Amino acid sequence: MSGGNIVARRPFPAAAREELGDAQLRANLRKATHTIRDKRLRVVGEVPDWEALRQSGAAIKDDVLSRLPELLEEFEATATAAGATVHWARDAAEACAVVTQLVRDTGATEVVKVKSMATQEIGLNEALEAAGIDAVETDLAELIVQLADDTPSHILVPAIHYNRSQIREIFTRNGLSALTDDPPALAEAARRHLRAKFLSARVGISGANFAVAESGALVVVESEGNGRMCLTLPETLISVVGIEKILPTFRDLEVFLQLLPRSSTGERMNPYTSLWTGVTPGDGPQTVHIVLVDNGRTETLADDVGRQALRCIRCSACLNVCPVYERVGGHAYGSVYPGPIGAILSPQMSGEGANRTLPYASTLCGACYDACPVQINIPEVLVHLRQTGPHPVAERAAMRALSWAMRDRRRYTAALRAARRGAAPVRWVAGRRGTVRHLPWPLSRWTSTRDAPLPAKQTFREWWATERGQA
Amino acid sequence: MKVALFVTCVNDLVFPGTGRAVVQVLERLGHTVEFPVEQGCCGQMHANSGYREEALPLVANFVKTFDGYDAVVGPSGSCVAMVRDWYPKLVPDATEVVARTYELSELLVDVLGVTDVGATFPHRVTYHPTCHGLRLLHLGDRPRRLLESVRDLELLDLPGAEECCGFGGTFSVKNAGVSGAMLADKCRSIVDTGAEYVAAVDNSCLAHIGGGLSRTSGPAKAIHYAEILAATS
């Protein structure tokens, strides 16, 4: 059972076509993804044991996944002993209900939020709004998206689809005055807006990058320090955490705190890493809740090939190197998890809606696998999901016919000859260029964007038979 | 050395000149080429599209056809990657034929120890490293080294060379819009180099790139690098 903002409403090709029409979007994405891509390459290149680190990251995560129930129980015990209250949620709706009730119990009508994928996934802001509670996003990019009444289009940089003059416009519309569209001016406007919220908020809501089983500690990795404000100032802190975020020991952070910043922001180290363990009397939030969310993860874990997607640490390196993501942006994927990782994560967490079209949203170019800090073989999982998903009837028939024809020498030779002969009149039409500009449906899907080549006048095997007297 | 040519189905039907070029290059270097006529398709399209059962008979046919040859050469990065990457999972006992199947540049540079194949090609050429050649076979600079040794050839750097051209097999028709957007960017990079030819190790990517280039006003054409290596004037 699962739900929330991980179900694509429209098939990927249709959604992508619409996004492709937005020239400004493509220019923004190209500039941003190439900038982060180059930064990542530089800082990864300076680590001599990067490949060993990736292997360690993958191995630690695989170990966690192989004994997840036991580690989760250990985490519950240690976190509880440290003064936190642990809640369990099977799906998005349950998680939202738990958090909403916890906020209601405090009597607060406004909460401040740390940037979090888990709360985006479960649709928490919408649920809180329905309960009359204002959820204020405090991450700069999430704030931009929230003020624009939009949805995030990137895991790390939710407002990647906007440039700075568009951001200034959004701010101005919402009464945040920025004198220019210089990044410092925009940041200052957001700072003034948020400072008042931090000081008055009684409840903070976060996710967590890691949850340490041996101690019950949670870890949030961020750049701005706004997260640190939310984690320390309010009286009550509620953290929504996917069950795969567990790490066995504190020592394991050594690997991930090297892998994550270099892969995500292209920095050697992120500016703020916050760790907290339950309640510390007289310091920070005195009421601490942790909501552990499944929402389709257990089903993903059950798949031998697909479970590697649960190693993901949400760095978004795969998005930044993906040529498909670069052209269409995150909204085309219809889920809070876009790009290559989204194309394998969303359909595994939920088979609903148009999620089945996502495994085809890739050329299998492999750039994502090379970039992944925990070695998720995304192309392998994409093909696996194509294998296990439903196939169009006509396509299956064509694939079967081709396989039947090509497995036997006589049938294969006859098929090649038939294709060559069938192309003869087309070749006459094609004339000297030798390629075809328009073909009827379904081949028009090829000629919509490029000319089609024609079968040669003589196949290779015919040439060989003539020249070498065989076949 | 006796080498079996695995021409690939796309080359057999649409680009036989690439197969002939491989024969010419290897024979010029003093090797014997055989063409086992039982060969068909390697099964890549089926396997990558989620039709593993339909791929299996094709895989079995490949293994049966090429079993026993000292070396098998395929002028296609993606078909050879299919053999190397997929076959061990599909037919675990086919390790020998898999280990002896090479992409052309691997055979020339690693097995035969040649980078100068005696070719002459007086043209401006840029090289696009295809994804499967680059990231699955790890061909590295082998094809470039072969091209750099061709007489009178001017090799031009392609900006963003390692970015996918947008072909992706059935992706090119299932997501034709995105594929076309990637192609347009690739074509622009190629045209901007001022090259007369863009060379690559895979005719399926080249059919896509060439089909895009023929809609641009520039002179650039797609060519399989084996045909450059075969050229002598």
Structural domains present in chain B = 2-111 (3.40.50), 124-230 (3.40.50)
In this prediction, residue A440 has a pLDDT band, given cuts at 50, 70 and 90, of: confident
Q: Nearest C-alpha of chain B: how many angstroms from A279?
A: 48
Whether residues A263 and A404 share a domain: the answer is no
Task: Check whether B124 has a pLDDT greater than 90.
Answer: yes
In this prediction, residue B233 has a pLDDT band, given cuts at 50, 70 and 90, of: confident
Whether residues A235 and A99 share a domain: the answer is yes
CB atoms B14 and A454 under 8 Å: yes
Task: Check whether A470 has a pLDDT greater than 70.
Answer: no
Q: Nearest C-alpha of chain A: how many angstroms from B27?
A: 13
Whether residues A242 and A108 share a domain: the answer is yes
Q: What mean pLDDT do residues A87-102 have?
A: 98
Q: Are A330 and A153 in contact (CB under 8 A)?
A: yes
Tokens 């194509």, located at residue: A386
- Structural domain includes residue A323: no
Q: What mean pLDDT do residues B2-18 have?
A: 97
Share of chain A above pLDDT 90, in %: 92
CA dihedral A376, A382, A383, A388 (to 10 degrees): 110
* Domain boundary residue, one of A298, A314, A339: A298
Q: Nearest C-alpha of chain A: how many angstroms from B78?
A: 10
| Spatial separation of the C-alpha atoms in residues A62 and A65, rounded to whole Å | 5
Select from A363, A453, A471 the Cβ nearest to the Cβ of B37.
A471
Task: Check whether A2 has a pLDDT greater than 90.
Answer: no
What are the strands, taking DSSP E only, across A94-149?
A: 110-113, 134-137
Helix, strand, coil % over all residues of chain B, rounded to 5: 50, 15, 35
* Residues of chain B contacting residue A456, judged by C-beta atoms under 8 Å apart: 13-17
Q: How many CA atoms lie within 13 A of A17 on its CB side?
A: 10
Q: What mean pLDDT do residues A255-276 have?
A: 97
What is the model's pLDDT at position A404?
95
What is the model's pLDDT at position A442?
82
- Structural domain includes residue A226: yes
User: What number is the ipTM of this complex?
Assistant: 0.97
What is the model's pLDDT at position A62?
98
Whether residues A290 and A402 share a domain: the answer is no
Report the chain A residue with the minimal C-alpha distance to residue B162. A367
* Residues of chain B contacting residue A451, judged by C-beta atoms under 8 Å apart: 210-212, 214-215
- Structural domain includes residue A347: no
* Residues of chain B contacting residue A471, judged by C-beta atoms under 8 Å apart: 35, 37
- Structural domain includes residue A118: yes
Report the chain B residue with the minimal C-alpha distance to residue A461. B12
What is the model's pLDDT at position A1?
63
Task: Check whether A206 has a pLDDT greater than 90.
Answer: yes
Range with lowest mean pLDDT among A220-229, A317-326, A371-380, A418-427:
A418-427
Whether residues A281 and A142 share a domain: the answer is yes
Residue whose C-alpha is closest to residue B171's, from B45, B18, B8, B43: B45
Using one digit for the tens of pLDDT, what is the confidence trace for A142-180? Answer: 999 999 999 999 999 999 999 999 999 999 999 998 889
In this prediction, residue A43 has a pLDDT band, given cuts at 50, 70 and 90, of: very high
CB atoms A363 and B164 under 8 Å: yes
* Domain boundary residue, one of A239, A268, A298: A298
CB atoms B168 and A362 under 8 Å: yes
Probe site for chain A from B14, B46, B59, B202 (most A CB atoms < 10 A): B14
| Spatial separation of the C-alpha atoms in residues A372 and A383, rounded to whole Å | 17
When divided into structural domains, chain A yields a total of 2
In this prediction, residue A469 has a pLDDT band, given cuts at 50, 70 and 90, of: confident
Report the chain B residue with the minimal C-alpha distance to residue A462. B12
Task: Check whether A29 has a pLDDT greater than 80.
Answer: yes
Tokens of B186: 């690739």
What is the model's pLDDT at position A220?
98
CB atoms A399 and B54 under 8 Å: yes
Q: In what order do the strands lie in the sheet with A272-277?
A: A246-247, A210-212, A217-222, A272-277
Task: Check whether A471 has a pLDDT greater than 60.
Answer: no
From chain A residues 135-194, the ones with a CB under 8 A of any chain B CB are none
Task: Check whether A384 has a pLDDT greater than 90.
Answer: yes
- Structural domain includes residue A413: yes
Which residues, other chains included, contact A153 with Cβ-Cβ below 8 Å and sequence gap of 6+? Answer: A159, A160, A161, A329, A330, A331, A338
Share of chain B above pLDDT 90, in %: 96
* Domain boundary residue, one of A266, A283, A298: A298
In this prediction, residue A314 has a pLDDT band, given cuts at 50, 70 and 90, of: very high
CATH number for the domain including A129?
3.40.50.10420
- Structural domain includes residue A8: no
Q: What mean pLDDT do residues B207-218 have?
A: 93
* Residues of chain B contacting residue A16, judged by C-beta atoms under 8 Å apart: 175, 177-178
Share of chain B above pLDDT 70, in %: 100
The pTM of the full predicted model, rounded to 2 decimals, is 0.96
| Helix spans in A213-309 (H) | 226-232, 253-264, 297-301
Whether residues A284 and A410 share a domain: the answer is no
Q: Nearest C-alpha of chain A: how many angstroms from B7?
A: 8
* Residues of chain B contacting residue A364, judged by C-beta atoms under 8 Å apart: 48, 131, 168-169, 171
Whether residues A292 and A401 share a domain: the answer is no
Which range scores top for mean pLDDT: A74-83, A411-420, A430-439, A460-469?
A74-83
Q: Nearest C-alpha of chain A: how many angstroms from B193?
A: 20
CB atoms A470 and B37 under 8 Å: yes
Size of interface A-B (CB pairs under 8 A): 192
Which residues, other chains included, contact A106 with Cβ-Cβ below 8 Å and sequence gap of 6+? Answer: A202, A203, A235, A236, A287
Residue whose C-alpha is closest to residue A203's, from A236, A233, A245, A226: A236
Element (H, E) at A102: helix A92-106
What is the model's pLDDT at position A373?
98
- Structural domain includes residue A378: no
Select from A328, A359, A450 the Cβ nearest to the Cβ of B215.
A450
- Structural domain includes residue A320: no
Question: In which domain, by residue range, is A405 found?
Answer: 393-468
Q: Are A356 and A314 in contact (CB under 8 A)?
A: no
| Spatial separation of the C-alpha atoms in residues A159 and A334, rounded to whole Å | 15
Phi, psi values for residue B69, rounded to 5°: -80, 150
In this prediction, residue A430 has a pLDDT band, given cuts at 50, 70 and 90, of: confident
User: Which long-range contacts link B221-224 to residues 24+ away (Cβ below 8 Å)?
Assistant: B221/B196, B221/B197, B222/B197, B222/B198, B223/B125, B223/B197, B223/B198, B223/B199, B224/B15, B224/B17, B224/B18, B224/B21, B224/B75, B224/B199, B224/B200
CB atoms A327 and B49 under 8 Å: no
Element (H, E) at A20: helix A12-20
Tokens 């409840």, located at residue: A203
Probe site for chain A from B13, B62, B202 (most A CB atoms < 10 A): B13
